[in-house]
């Protein structure tokens, strides 16, 4: 992956530690520094300090320390280049790639990043399906019935999985995704006893995209609308290398700013409850 030195320099010049970490953590000012509960080890009293003057952070509990780029790498679990892209996106800095990308560099893109790209593709696919005749008559009408506005539907990446065994599989393969990655991302399944038979995990259901704190889709929840007694009401993505369920709270990405501003948070059970309250 080759992000140009110019882009990296622009990001380093523009980034501010208080803003970058503030996207993730509530911080309190005490003296010269800001303090937060460390996101890297469990604690109830803040030992995670942020120095705006030095543009570094340090945890006195677990020892994690670094600059804003290191923080994004650690909290998102991504590499240096991806962290630069992430911060560039936050500040609206255009990312220039070096033209000399070798096949080896392309392959070096790690598995985690491939999974996130595949999940992003699936999210876009489900969102687009909502505008098909089938998506409109079944999915969109359900969301409207729940009182969800077009803006809310867009904000939460609500979507629709068409009825059929391989709609996503075929679209993803045409777009160049390998079956192995789609399997690892939890998007497709192998038939028990016949690994050559693969099919979409989500079929004939409305889709709730589950985002990480920075808005990348990690997995999906899917609700059936037809009255089929043999099918579970909800199907969810499994645990994957990028989706650790105990680390993710549905709706946090959309709510984080308001939670910080109001210093208040309501927890409810269920996707539609979260979206309705929002």
Sites of contact with Zn ion (CB under 5 A)? 38, 40-41, 59, 61-62
Burial degree of 218 (CB within 10 A; 0-12, 13-18, 19+): buried
Smallest distance from Zn ion to CB 43, Å: 7
Nearer to Zn ion, 62 or 181 (CB): 62
Tokens of 149: 């506005």
CB 259 within 8 A of CB 198: no
Smallest distance from Zn ion to CB 172, Å: 38
Rounded to whole angstroms, how far apart are CA atoms 50 and 68?
10
Nearer to Zn ion, 64 or 123 (CB): 64
Nearer to Zn ion, 24 or 142 (CB): 24
Rounded to whole angstroms, how far apart are CA atoms 223 and 200?
15
Smallest distance from Zn ion to CB 204, Å: 45
Smallest distance from Zn ion to CB 225, Å: 44
CB count in 10 Å sphere of residue 161: 26
Overall residue count recorded for the chain in this entry: 278
Nearer to Zn ion, 48 or 125 (CB): 48
For the chain, the first-to-last Cα distance in angstroms comes to 38
Helix axes 68-76, 80-91, angle to 10 degrees: 110
Nearer to Zn ion, 41 or 197 (CB): 41
Tokens of 223: 């609700």
Nearer to Zn ion, 62 or 225 (CB): 62
Smallest distance from Zn ion to CB 63, Å: 7
The angle formed by the CA atoms of residues 85, 40 and 271, to the nearest 5 degrees, is: 75
Nearer to Zn ion, 38 or 69 (CB): 38
Q: Give the phi and the psi of residue 149 in degrees, each rounded to 5.
A: -80, 160
Smallest distance from Zn ion to CB 175, Å: 40
Residues β-bridged to residue 208? 221
CB 130 within 8 A of CB 158: yes
Tokens of 31: 């003296």
Smallest distance from Zn ion to CB 39, Å: 8
């Amino acid at each position: 992956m080759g992000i140009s030195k110019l882009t990296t320099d622009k990001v380093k010049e523009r980034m501010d530690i208080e803003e970058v970490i503030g996207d993730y953590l509530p911080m309190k000012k005490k003296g010269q520094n800001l303090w937060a509960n460390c996101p890297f080890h469990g604690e109830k009293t803040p030992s995670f300090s942020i120095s705006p003057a030095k543009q570094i952070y340090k945890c006195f509990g677990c020892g994690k320390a670094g600059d804003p780029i290191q923080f994004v790498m650690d909290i998102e679990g991504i590499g240096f280049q991806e962290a630069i892209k992430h911060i560039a996106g936050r500040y609206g800095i255009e990312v220039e790639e070096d033209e000399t990308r070798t096949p080896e560099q392309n392959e070096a893109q790690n598995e985690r990043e491939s999974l996130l790209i595949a999940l992003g593709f699936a999210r876009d696919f489900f969102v687009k399906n909502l505008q098909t005749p089938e998506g409109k008559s079944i999915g969109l009408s359900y969301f409207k019935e729940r009182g969800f506005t077009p803006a809310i539907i867009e904000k939460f990446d609500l979507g629709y999985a068409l009825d059929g065994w391989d709609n996503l599989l075929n679209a993803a393969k045409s777009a160049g995704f390998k079956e192995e990655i789609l399997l690892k991302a939890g998007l497709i399944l192998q038939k028990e006893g016949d690994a050559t038979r693969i099919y979409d995990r989500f079929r004939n259901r409305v889709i709730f995209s589950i985002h990480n704190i920075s808005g990348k889709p990690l997995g999906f929840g899917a609700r059936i609308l037809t009255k089929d007694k043999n099918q579970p009401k909800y199907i969810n993505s499994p645990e994957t290398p990028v989706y650790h369920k105990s680390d993710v709270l549905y709706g946090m990405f959309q709510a984080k700013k308001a939670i910080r501003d109001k210093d208040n948070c309501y927890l409810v059970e269920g996707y539609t409850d979260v979206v309705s309250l929002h």
